[in-house]
């Protein structure tokens, strides 16, 4: 009788016994190639074709060939699939802000850092557009976005406080953070509506407008 072993990714294989040294045979289990990204792509495809609310976790799991239980190893909930790697993006944004030269103007640091954390490949942009449409149109996700955007503001307010002084909860840092969030959201919204648009260019323009008091002439310099 063969013995079974499970690797660190959950794939199950049969281990041959005896002196013959027979080759191992794959057994049923989660495909070894399955990744968090695979699950997200399958989910986004289903969301775009049949709607977010009409797509179940079981359907997403089936599309990738995993169990419902395994789905929750990758994502805590269905909404988390739509937000993707948002937590990792916050980490990158904080790192970019923290490493900026002290003498660089605050708004220049913000503009450059937000641009840097929103550079995506062509395939990623297609998925990002689906995510943005869902986040702005599905009531469940719209409600959840308040929490996620607050986390983004916390990162920016912390940076602003380090430059302006005082607490991140003070008026100055909070104004910077929420104005920056508004600029970023406007850039994403305009880009999502135009399939030929350049996301980084839209972010650049939005933050230049904010920094110059919405002076189109100065913003384009």
CATH of domain 85-219: 1.10.357.10
- Model pLDDT for residues 53-63, shown as the tens digit of each residue: 999 999 999 99
Contact yes or no for 209/202 (Cβ under 8 A)? no
20, pLDDT greater than 50: no
CATH architecture of 36-80: Orthogonal Bundle (1.10)
Contact yes or no for 118/86 (Cβ under 8 A)? no
Q: pLDDT-based confidence at 8, cuts 50/70/90?
A: very low
Distance CA 160, CA 172 (A): 8
- State the alpha helices, DSSP H only, in the chain: 36-50, 57-64, 68-74, 78-83, 86-98, 106-116, 122-137, 139-164, 171-193, 199-211, 216-219
pLDDT over 70 percentage in the chain? 85
CATH 1.10.357.10 domain position(s) in the chain: 85-219
Distance CA 46, CA 164 (A): 46
Question: What's the confidence (pLDDT) of residue 201?
Answer: 95
- Model pLDDT for residues 27-48, shown as the tens digit of each residue: 344 455 678 999 999 999 999 9
Question: What's the confidence (pLDDT) of residue 32?
Answer: 53
Mean pLDDT of 103-112: 96
Cα-to-chain-centroid distance, residue 28: 32
1, pLDDT greater than 50: no
Question: What's the confidence (pLDDT) of residue 23?
Answer: 41
Distance CA 198, CA 192 (A): 10
Residue 206: both structure tokens together = 């939005």
Other beta carbons within 10 Å of 216? 10
pTM value is 0.80
Contact yes or no for 221/121 (Cβ under 8 A)? no
Question: What's the confidence (pLDDT) of residue 25?
Answer: 38
Distance CA 30, CA 64 (A): 9
Tokens 């970023």 sit on residue: 184
pLDDT over 90 percentage in the chain? 72
CATH 1.10.10.60 domain position(s) in the chain: 36-80
């Amino acid at each position: 009788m063969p013995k079974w072993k499970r690797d660190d990714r959950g794939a199950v294989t049969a281990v041959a016994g005896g002196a013959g040294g027979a080759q191992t045979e794959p057994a049923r289990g989660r495909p070894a190639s399955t990744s968090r990204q695979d699950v997200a792509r399958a989910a986004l495809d289903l969301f775009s074709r049949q709607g977010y609310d009409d797509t179940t976790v079981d359907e997403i799991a089936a599309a990738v060939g995993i169990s419902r239980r395994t789905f929750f190893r990758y994502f805590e909930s269905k909404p988390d699939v739509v937000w993707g790697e948002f937590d990792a993006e916050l980490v990158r944004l904080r790192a970019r802000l923290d490493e900026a030269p002290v003498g660089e103007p605050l708004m220049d640091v913000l503009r450059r850092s937000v641009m840097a954390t929103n550079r995506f490949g062509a395939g990623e942009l297609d998925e990002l557009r689906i995510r943005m449409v869902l986040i702005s149109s599905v009531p469940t996700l719209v409600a959840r976005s308040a929490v996620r955007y607050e986390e983004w503001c916390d990162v920016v307010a912390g940076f602003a406080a380090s430059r302006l002084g005082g607490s991140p909860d003070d008026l100055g840092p909070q104004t910077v953070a929420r104005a920056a969030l508004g600029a970023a959201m406007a850039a994403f919204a305009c880009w999502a509506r135009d399939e030929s648009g350049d996301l980084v260019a839209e972010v650049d323009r939005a933050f230049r407008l904010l920094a110059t008091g919405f002076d189109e002439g100065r913003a384009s310099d």
